[in-house]
Amino acid sequence: MFCKIINGDIPCSKVYEDDKILAFHDINPQAPVHCLIVPKVHIASADGIDETNADVVAEVFMAAPIIAKKLGLTRGYRIITNIGEDGCQSVKHIHFHLVGGRQLSETMA
């Protein structure tokens, strides 16, 4: 499904794009700012990261401060990636939630 957003077949509220990454606002935000950072290459989840594709993780974390600045997150933010059933991953294309815009909970699970 995120492949269709990347290809432009499904619209999104774009925040950032480069040749490796697309970031857009989550359709069901769980914080005042909730954006998804999505590598364009299709990898099912972070469980599929290996030596052939690990560069996309660095690309995501290099884009994150640019995105955070664009979204006015001067006080910090959190990046989360859900993996598999227990991790509550609903979309099987690797993505990183960038959430912020308020003091976040100290708990993570």
Q: 12 and 25 in contact (C-beta within 8 Å)?
A: yes
Q: 99 and 77 in contact (C-beta within 8 Å)?
A: yes
Identify the active-site residue in 25, 42, 93, 95.
Answer: 95
Active site (annotated) includes residue 25: no
Which residues partner with 22 through β-bridges? 17, 38
Q: 56 and 20 in contact (C-beta within 8 Å)?
A: yes
Which residues partner with 73 through β-bridges? none
In angstroms, give the least distance from the CB of 28 to ligand AMP: 4
Per-residue contact track with ligand AMP, 29 to 68, x per CB under 6 A?
-------x--------------------------------
Selected binder of ligand AMP within 17, 40, 57, 82 (CB under 6 A): 82
Q: Report the catalytic residues.
A: 95
